[in-house]
Structure 1
Amino acid sequence: MRATVGDRIVVASGVVGGAVRDGVVVGCEHADGSPPYRVRWSDTGEESLVFPGPDTLVRHDDEGQAAEATRGRSVTWQVQLTLVEASGSTTAEATLVAGPAGRDDDDVGALRAVGHARKDPGDAEVPLIGDEVAAGRALRRLADTLLGQAEHDISAQTGHRAHVHT
């Protein structure tokens, strides 16, 4: 495996369902392009020294956007869910942080949605149920917000009112 500064590194997770990470090679330790590589990760903006394994792919800079279109791409979006319980009610706030900080090409910014759950006065106090209901409502609203953002972006690109079917 050989890489040069500017190449993309894509690392598959070693576990089923794990995150796929990608980054840009910002430094090579050896002149011949052999590992290890200093990589700036697109999901966090952090840099680390990478010793690639069999789950690693190097996409050379000269392959350009045509290769990205045929091979696909990898980005990581994170959803943070915060739950607050008080007096038989639960509030969940779901926040989506999409795209790496400081980059505009994949950055839709942060979207936020809130969900609430209230226990019936005659029901037993089971905090997990309130968490599930409030979180589910917040995530559903977050999904609706994200689809609305997609409709807006499609409309801006095409010049026509868009509707995303769900």
Structure 2
Amino acid sequence: MSHTAEWKVRLFLFEEDRTTKARLELDTGTTRITGHGTARCNPQDSDVPEIGDELAVARAMEDLALQMKRTTYGDIGAVGAGTRPQDSLKPYTGWLDAAAS
């Protein structure tokens, strides 16, 4: 069985007061999921906007991936195919901060 699909992704970056926020919107045509990520520049470090952009986007991608896994595992369970272990839904250690959750 052959299948072709096009999913659209939009990325928005916002920077203010040494804090960068990323919003990543995925539109599958039937579902919309939004990932969020935040990066803060340490006051002792040089402000390099590209680094904040990269880190905030990476965190938004991880957030989006986690939501996609939750959706997928729910869909797997809904069709009676079983579910994956809940441990696989935990965020990666070290990247999630209080403001990004």
TM-score if structure 1 supplies the norm length? 0.49
Question: Could you say which residue in structure 1 is the equivalent of 2:27?
Answer: 97
1:155: Cα distance to partner?
0.6
C-alpha RMSD of matched pairs (Å): 1.7
1:73: Cα distance to partner?
1.3
Separation in structure 2 between the aligned mates of residue 126 and residue 135 of structure 1, nearest angstrom: 15
Aligned pairs for 1:1-166 within 5 A: 69=1, 72-99=2-29, 107=30, 109-158=31-80, 160=82, 162-163=83-84
Higher relative contact order, chain-length normalized (CA < 8 Å, sep 6+): 2
Separation in structure 1 between the aligned mates of residue 22 and residue 55 of structure 2, nearest angstrom: 9
Separation in structure 1 between the aligned mates of residue 77 and residue 34 of structure 2, nearest angstrom: 22
1:78: Cα distance to partner?
1.4
Separation in structure 2 between the aligned mates of residue 132 and residue 143 of structure 1, nearest angstrom: 16
Higher helix share: 2
Question: Could you say which residue in structure 2 is the equivalent of 1:57?
Answer: none
Equivalenced residues, count: 87
Question: Could you say which residue in structure 2 is the equivalent of 1:4?
Answer: none
The alignment-based identity, stated in percent, is 32
Task: Decide which structure has the larger Cα Rg and report it.
Answer: 1
Residue type of the alignment partner of 2:84: H
Aligned residue for 2:79, secondary structure, equals helix
Higher strand share: 1
1:37-82 CA deviation, whole Å, 9 max, x = no partner? xxxxxxxxxxxxxxxxxxxxxxxxxxxxxxxx1xx11100111110
1:113: Cα distance to partner?
1.4
TM-score if structure 2 supplies the norm length? 0.80
Question: Could you say which residue in structure 1 is the equivalent of 2:98?
Answer: none
Unmatched segments (≥5 aa) in structure 1: 1-68, 100-106
List 4+ stretches of structure 1 deviating above 3 A: none
Separation in structure 2 between the aligned mates of residue 141 and residue 96 of structure 1, nearest angstrom: 12
Unmatched segments (≥5 aa) in structure 2: 90-101
